[in-house]
Structure 1
Amino acid sequence: MNIAKKIDHTMLKADSTKETIIRYCQEAKEHGFASVCVNTCHATLVASELKGTDVKTCCVVGFPLGAMMTSAKAFEASEAVKAGASEIDMVINIGAVKDKDWDFVRDDIKAVVDASKPAIVKVIIETCLLTEEEKRKACQLSEEAGAAFVKTSTGFSTGGATIEDIKLMKETVGDRLQVKASGGIRTRAFTEELIAAGADRIGAGNGVILL
């Protein structure tokens, strides 16, 4: 199985330097990864490093808590796209999910989807903090809001991707949306299990090791 094309080579640590980001871009080009996923401050650098390749520039928005104003998320997304991002991974408003404020959750996602065009949006639902019912609802709202993917985790909370969550998310969105697994993916074997369970994309900080 050629998994390279499914990997978002990810570096989101607060102390990541330009040197580190450039190395990630070089590795992504060498191995043919799907994208390099970074914080928005690195969007211009990554887009420049990846120019002329088919490796995409992916940026996280509202990361890692998802708890900022909708307008701030939308602005961050639009600025990242202007800087060269073609994929946006946004964090859902988890508190609003807990409040069952479904209109707010949907509108929060839709604002980012609209601000990101023509880039696609992956919605990070932070599965480790949600009940099964909340996971399903978050996936449904992501679809209603026009997202392209639902994604398990930031990798910065209490847990990461699980086989069970990928199956549940895939069951909920079918072939209408794609599913991204992220958080705690450290071995080739686990990567292949996640893909078999329905993951279309893998977010990992150690993409080279997974190969």
Structure 2
Amino acid sequence: MHLLTLILGITLLPRAHTLNCYECVPGTSGACTDTAKECPLSGQLCGALRMTSYAGGSKVVDINSKSCALKAECIEASVNFGISKTKINTNCCNSNLCNVKPAPEASESAPNGKKCFQCKGQDCTATLNCEGTEDHCISTTMNIGSESMTIKGCASKLICLPETQQMSGIMGAKVNCCQGDYCNSASSTSAGLLLLVAPLVSVVVLS
């Protein structure tokens, strides 16, 4: 009798509330199409993400995506190497299909007083003034072909979390973060291809 009551109770339990959200995963061209999707987890929000990268003051990448998101994934973050900067901005909402509009471009941010080393050519002793939510110093090493190159700068805490370090495995990238002014070392590194283009940190917040 108890077993029957348990089975009936489980069967008749109301289904946990989950949202329907738009999902939009950009392809290689950067374009994507909205499709409605039921979120797999209770408590997830609908989110829209925008990642914008700049080099030499010009916008070089502008990517939009949409999906279900955890509250912790609804953030604003950036990584700044001086020669290039990538900003991430998300908009989250809690009603069905509410993420119809793309997230706006992240706003301009002012220096926050923190200072890190950056690389200019082979010299990695230059000072970079961190901005906005950039509260960590970062040092990123990439292997391109047979060469190993390092770039340094400022990053938001989110960029440094293990689950969001999507650079690992891309061109042999290795990311090291630390807190404290100039904690990302002053050693010089070899210059190469990476220093001639806009280095992008591809951080996937919405999955």
TM-score, normalising length from structure 1?
0.31
TM-score, normalising length from structure 2?
0.31
* Structure with more of its chain in strand, by fraction: 2
